[in-house]
A and B are shown apart, each in its own frame.
Chain A
Amino acid sequence: MMMKTIMQFLAFIIFSSAVCADEVYDVLLESMTDKNFVTVERLKQDELQAFCSQPRSASADEARAAELRAAALSDVPIPSDQNYLGDWQRGEKVASNGRGLQYSDDPEQENGGNCYACHQLDPAEVAYGNLGPSLSGYGARGQSIAMLQYTWTKLWNTHAYNICSHMPRFGAAGILTEQQLRDVMAFLFDPQSPVNRTQP
């Protein structure tokens, strides 16, 4: 009886110690199977994902955060011709399209950005999420090079400015093509875009 209590206590100490990331990965690897074009390769974390997987209660490592932020920023390819703006109408389609990269999706179709899942854009569209800030009227910020570069970077790799943001790295992770990103940029900035129509 005493022995059993001691064993249980020891087991508690062992099991209640911090679960390390490798263990979580191993559990996931055993708990999941490849499905269609989606393989368990996706379960492997890169440095940024590993850093941003801490429960809220965990204390932040500021030095490491700064390092990863700098690495993200240095990897953003700025269009050499400074041509940031594509076609807002095509960008609107990218913003509305929520398909892409789920095992239930057709990999032959182009990926969407699913911007409306989290952001308000065209004020006339009522089905928008609020995980991210409203971007209605974004074009009012003007089209200075600084503003264009900032927004491009935010879309390419959000962690360059906001480490551990919930937003996907649309450029860096290859979710959207450069042309799709230029089109989304136009959707945000173009004065003709519904994003910038006068709020009712």
Chain B
Amino acid sequence: MNKGFMRVIFTVLIGLWSVTLLSDTEGVFDQYREMLGDDNPAIFVIFDGEEIWYAPAGPKSVSLEQCDLGLGPGVVEGAYAQLPRYFPDVDRVQDVEARLEYCMTQLQGLTTEEVRGKPYSLRGDLGTELEALVAWIADQSSGLAIAPGQAHAKERATYALGENLFYYRAGPHDFSCATCHEQTGRRIRLQALPNLTTHPGAAEAYSSWPAYRISQGIVRTMGWRMRDCMRQQRMPELIMGSQASVALQTYLAVNGAGASMAAPGLKR
């Protein structure tokens, strides 16, 4: 069976479906999720991600098979659930995106600019390699407990930094992450807002990213979610794998620790 063709058909169907739903509310997305059952269109992206992982690429024409996501070179199963974590080889805490950037530059010989150039899809795109890789890597931790590293001093410092970033108000609207995400039972327009300062809220949010965005027809990563929240806060553009991106994700992962990963999730 031609996977690419099937994926196009699927995307078109989903696209048509979501266009008819755009004016509607979360309830219809629930119906749609129910209709899909255990099927998630992200499966096609996951397949792609696995292929990309094993395919030779970059100036050095090597695959990512020797990439160490924290559990040893080439060990992908269970790795996502333990990120972000401290990596002695870079003496820094990294999330999956920062780590992939490291592997792509170190192993494959790509430049940082090449990796960071366009990590996330724009609306209408069919997906980036980074999104596919992250979808596959996260899927390899599905059902496992969120267990980010907090044993190393730099891991704890990253959590503290993340908390401070979470409350940092700036820009013309004085917004911070906390503006929308430090209270329980709130919503913006009709969109429910998780309280990310609590375990249930952070667990619900963190465990479901990366996610297939029905309305956009692509898989979005947690790094993208951070960037888009910053855009909505009227901030400049958050760089993938940057210290702020990693620290914010650490804050969420630690607050949600213990819950089971359920990514790639399915979102409106």
Which A residues are within 8 Å of any B CB, using their own CB? 8, 11-12, 14-16, 18-19, 21, 23-24, 27-28, 30-35, 38-40, 42-45, 48-49, 52-56, 101-104, 116-118, 126-131, 166, 168-169, 173-175
In the complex, whether B234 has a CB less than 8 A from a CB of chain A is yes
Asked if residues A45 and B169 are in contact (CB atoms below 8 Å), the reply is: yes
Given contacts A12-B153, A24-B168, list 4 more A-B pairs with CB under 8 A: A8-B153, A21-B168, A43-B170, A129-B187
- Chain B's closest residue to A52 (CB) is B169
Residue from B174, B187, B231, B243 in contact with A27 in the complex, judged by beta carbons closer than 8 Å? B243
- Chain A's closest residue to B154 (CB) is A15
Asked if residues A49 and B239 are in contact (CB atoms below 8 Å), the reply is: no
CA of A52 to CA of B168 in the docked complex: distance in angstroms? Answer: 8
Residues of B within 8 A of A44 (CB): 170
Asked if residues A30 and B174 are in contact (CB atoms below 8 Å), the reply is: no
Residues of B within 8 A of A12 (CB): 153, 156
Residues of A within 8 A of B242 (CB): 30-32
CA of A53 to CA of B233 in the docked complex: distance in angstroms? Answer: 14
Residue from B161, B164, B237, B247 in contact with A33 in the complex, judged by beta carbons closer than 8 Å? B237
Give the 6 A-B CB pairs with smallest separation, nearest first.
A15-B157, A31-B244, A31-B242, A35-B237, A12-B153, A11-B153
Residues of B within 8 A of A19 (CB): 157, 160-161, 163-164
Asked if residues B156 and A32 are in contact (CB atoms below 8 Å), the reply is: no
Contact (A38, B236) CB under 8 Å given A24-B161, A27-B247, A53-B168: yes
Asked if residues B183 and A101 are in contact (CB atoms below 8 Å), the reply is: no
Residues of B within 8 A of A116 (CB): 189
Asked if residues A28 and B234 are in contact (CB atoms below 8 Å), the reply is: no
Contact (A43, B154) CB under 8 Å given A24-B165, A31-B243: no
Residues of A within 8 A of B163 (CB): 19, 55
Closest chain-A Cβ to B137's Cβ sits at a distance in Å of: 22
* B176-209 interface code vs A (CB 8 A; 1 in, 0 out): 1001101101111111010001000000000000
Residues of B within 8 A of A175 (CB): 172-173
